[in-house]
């Protein structure tokens, strides 16, 4: 990817772990030597690093809900992560980021290229993330309104359903 997109900088933050699934030191050394990745080491405060990035990427194999993704989203960054438990609950596909299959480096590269080749997507995703609570409130209101209408039987057919019309507008 670095050969195709020379202007893009890939930064890796976090300490190396002693785990079979983790990046090995020799692998990291090769990436740094070839200038594919800039390794930043570990830190107690990720905020300055997230502030510098355009898109946050976490290709996790397994996770709970990753604190780092929540931190990145709270700072208005779109996210690319894996479709693993905990990670998948943080991303609305194509809205505030992308999900890729676990251990699928090709899908990960393709997701990153979407932002590289269409940088305007970053701004759209930033707008969504910054207004995320508004969208969540709207979805909760729609769900409550729909339950009320269904319970009170105020519409007769699916075509009369005002909530479906609103849901289509909110989700598109």
Domain CATH code at residue 103: 3.40.50.2000
Distances (CA, A) of 75 to 30, 50, 126: 31, 7, 9
Residues 146 and 116 in one domain: no
Specify whether 119 is located in the same domain as 151. no
pLDDT band at 132 (very low <50, low <70, confident <90, very high): low
| Strands, E assignment, the chain | 11-13, 38-41, 56-58, 79-82, 97-100
Q: Give the number of domains in the chain.
A: 2
Residues 35 and 73 in one domain: yes
Same domain membership, residue 125 and residue 139:
no
The verdict on 38 and 120 lying in the same domain is: yes
**Residues of the domain holding 154:** 132-171
- pLDDT digit string (tens) for 32-54? 999 999 999 999 999 999 999 99
In a shared domain, residues 107 and 124: yes
- Over residues 85-124, the pLDDT tens digits come to 888 888 888 878 899 999 999 999 999 999 999 888 777 5
Same-domain check for residues 31 and 90: yes
Residue 105 maps to a domain:
yes
Q: Which long-range contacts (CB under 8 A, 24 or more apart) does 80-87 make?
A: 80/55, 80/56, 80/108, 80/111, 80/112, 80/115, 81/57, 82/58, 84/60, 86/60, 87/58, 87/60, 87/63
Average pLDDT over residues 123-148: 66
**Residues 120 and 137 occupy one common structural domain:** no
Q: Exposed, middle or buried: residue 52 (CB in 10 Å: 0-12, 13-18, 19+)?
A: exposed
pLDDT at 4: 87
Position of tokens 């030191």?
25
Query: Do residues 152 and 123 both lie within one domain?
Result: no
- Give the contacts of 163 (CB within 8 A, at least 6 positions apart): 142, 145, 146, 149
Looking at the structure, tell me whether residues 108 and 165 fall in a common domain: no
């Amino acid at each position: 990817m670095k050969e195709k997109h020379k202007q893009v900088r890939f930064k890796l933050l976090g300490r190396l772990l002693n785990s079979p699934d983790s990046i090995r030191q020799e692998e990291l050394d090769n990436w740094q030597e070839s200038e594919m990745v800039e390794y930043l080491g570990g830190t107690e405060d990720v905020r300055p690093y997230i502030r510098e990035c355009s898109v946050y990427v976490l290709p996790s194999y397994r996770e709970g809900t990753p604190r780092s993704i929540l931190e990145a989203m709270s700072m208005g960054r779109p996210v690319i992560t894996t479709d693993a438990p905990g990670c998948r609950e943080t991303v609305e596909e194509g809205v505030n980021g992308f999900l890729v299959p676990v251990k699928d480096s090709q899908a990960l590269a393709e997701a990153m290229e979407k932002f590289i080749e269409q940088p305007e997507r970053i701004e759209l995703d930033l707008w969504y993330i910054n207004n995320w609570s508004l969208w969540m409130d709207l979805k909760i209101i729609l769900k409550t309104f729909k339950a009320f209408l269904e319970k009170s039987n105020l519409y007769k057919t699916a075509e009369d359903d005002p909530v479906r019309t609103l849901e289509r507008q909110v989700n598109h």
